[in-house]
Amino acid sequence: MHYLYYYLAIINIVAVFFTAHDKNAAIQGKRRLPERTLFFLAVLGGGPAMYLTMLIIRHKTRKLKFMLGIPVIIILQLAAFVVICYGLRII
């Protein structure tokens, strides 16, 4: 279970970095990350930190796809976690 915590910490740090990088690229008019890359990071577990970063730096907050999509991913992941843990009798 400790590895899960390390993994989640790392993937969330990576998600924050990529979100901030995309915002910086947008400001400077440089090449941006594909939206699917940001969603993929959220699916890998970086959604919570990505969502908070998006709100703090005001990045993609006007895009309904992100403002609804990232929280839906987080909720589905939490639900899956509860189902898996309940099935394994961890919680």
User: Are 85 and 91 in contact, with CB atoms under 8 Å apart?
Assistant: yes
Question: In sequence order, which residues have a C-beta less than 8 Å from that of residue 74 and are 6 or more positions away?
Answer: 42, 47, 48, 51
Record the tokens describing residue 88, joined without a space: 């394994």
The per-residue pLDDT string of the chain (91 residues; one tens digit each, 9 = 90 and over) reads 789 999 999 999 999 999 999 999 999 999 999 999 999 999 999 999 999 999 999 999 999 999 999 999 999 999 999 999 888 887 6
Domain boundaries of the chain, sorted by first residue: 2-87
